Amino acid sequence: MGWGCIPDDHELMAGMVGLQTAHRYGNATLLASDMVFGIGNRFANRHTGSVEKYTEGRKIVHIDIEPTQIGRVLCPDLGIVSDAKAGADTAG
């Protein structure tokens, strides 16, 4: 999720999330969050394992230019069909 937009050695880089691609602190950071803002990601079920584990207790916002990706694996609290930059600017 967002790999490459923050350098791997940046102090705020928690890493990738999931079962197959996770970095050391990626899953722990996500599970400690109260909101997840996904831009252009798939939320693939092979990466999330139990959807409930990753969604319970947090709000999910999902921006994607492809409408079929929003709600495909998990149902976000807010889904925005948009170009990534325009959607992020609109969301705020």
Residues 21-76 pLDDT 10s: 667 788 888 889 999 988 888 877 665 567 888 888 999 999 999 999 999 988 99
Sheet holding 35-39, edge to edge: 35-39, 59-64, 78-81
In a domain, 68, yes or no: yes
pTM: 0.79
Query: Which among 9-13, 16-20, 44-48 has the top mean pLDDT?
Result: 9-13
pLDDT at residue number 28: 85
**Tens of pLDDT along 76-86?**
999 999 999 99
In a domain, 54, yes or no: yes
Q: Which domain holds residue 65?
A: 35-91
In a domain, 13, yes or no: no
Number of structural domains found in the chain: 1
Quickly count: other Cβ atoms within 10 Å of residue 43's Cβ.
Answer: 24
